[in-house]
Amino acid sequence: MLDLGIDVLFKGSNMLRLLSGLWVAMKISLVSILISLPLGVLVGALMTVKNRVVKVIFRVYLEIIRIMPQLVLLFIVYFGTTRALGWNLSGEVASVIVFVLWGTAEMGDLVRGALISIPKHQFESSEALGLTKRQTYIYIIIPQTIQRLIPLSINLITRMIKTTSLVLMIGVVEMLKVAQQIIEANRMTSPNAAFGVFLIVFILYFLVCWPISMLARYLEKKWNIA
């Protein structure tokens, strides 16, 4: 039989190490998501205000963050700011900073999109029914916005989890790095380990992201959002 080197993972604590590498990546994305969701809601709400200056400032922030590859942002924060400001950031902290900046921008855009997608007649009808501005928001606008937002933000979560694979490049020991170490350590005994180990990494990422994507799609279908 063709030796694919999957057996390497069952030696010693290799599989456990790989999973703890996955946990490092998950932790970074979880923390970043928890911070950037509320911040994104705030930014998105601020972007719909009438004030020109506020709008322009957030627009510029959003465009700059979104046009740069996340890896470039990671480099800027990890190598750039440490050199320019003289502080010392660990790879983990640098990645959380970048993911929060990026996540907030993306989430802000989603919130803005959801808010302006509420048709004007919803506001007008509520007014005609005699609801106050506060009641309109609490009973009419916010529930609809949330329904549109939840599937989109779940998708953002999977994107963030996928992007955590990049933190390897700024020296964080996450799953891919552990995989490289395992392959390197077993180079002599199982030369084909690269196939098996990277296959498992591939499958593990899929197993994490797929259920989340499915949930987003299920909710979208259930609430019938086009």
| Site for another protein, rule CB under 8 A | 2, 4-5, 67-72, 75-76, 79-80, 83-84, 158, 162-166, 168-169, 176, 179, 183, 191-192, 194-196, 198-199, 201-202, 205-206, 209-210, 213
Between residues 12 and 69, which has the closer beta carbon with respect to another protein? 69
> Smallest gap, in angstroms, from Cβ of residue 95 to another protein?
14
Nearer to another protein, 70 or 145 (CB): 70
Collect contacts of 130-139 with beta carbons under 8 A, ≥24 apart. Answer: none
Cβ proximity to another protein: between 139 and 206 the closer is: 206
Between residues 77 and 126, which has the closer beta carbon with respect to another protein?
77
Contacts of 107 (CB under 8 A, 6+ apart): 36, 37, 39, 40, 41, 43, 44, 153, 156
Shortest distance (Å) from residue 210 CB to another protein: 5
How crowded is the C-beta side of 54, counted as CA atoms within 13 Å? 10
Max Cα–Cα distance, the chain, nearest Å: 78
Please provide the DSSP assignment of 10-75 as one string: GSTTHHHHHHHHHHHHHHHHHHHHHHHHHHHHHHHHHHTSS-HHHHHHHHHHHHHHHHS-HHHHHH
Nearer to another protein, 32 or 126 (CB): 32
**What tokens does 94 get?**
């640098």
Q: Quote the least distance from Cβ 116 to another protein, whole Å.
A: 15
CB of 28 to another protein, least distance (A): 13
Q: In whole angstroms, how close is the CB of 71 to another protein at the nearest point?
A: 4
Q: What is the nearest approach in angstroms of another protein to the Cβ of residue 198?
A: 4
Structure tokens at 65: 């963050």
Given the complex with another protein, which of 118 and 199 has the nearer CB atom? 199
Closest approach of another protein to the CB of residue 70, in Å: 7
Name the residue with tokens 């499915």: 214
Q: Residue 175: which residues within 8 A CB-CB, separation 6 or more?
A: 18, 21, 22, 24, 25, 165, 201, 204, 205
Judge contact between 151 and 219, C-beta under 8 A: yes
Q: Which is nearer to another protein, 133 or 217 (CB)?
A: 217
Residue 79 CA to residue 151 CA, distance in Å, equals: 35
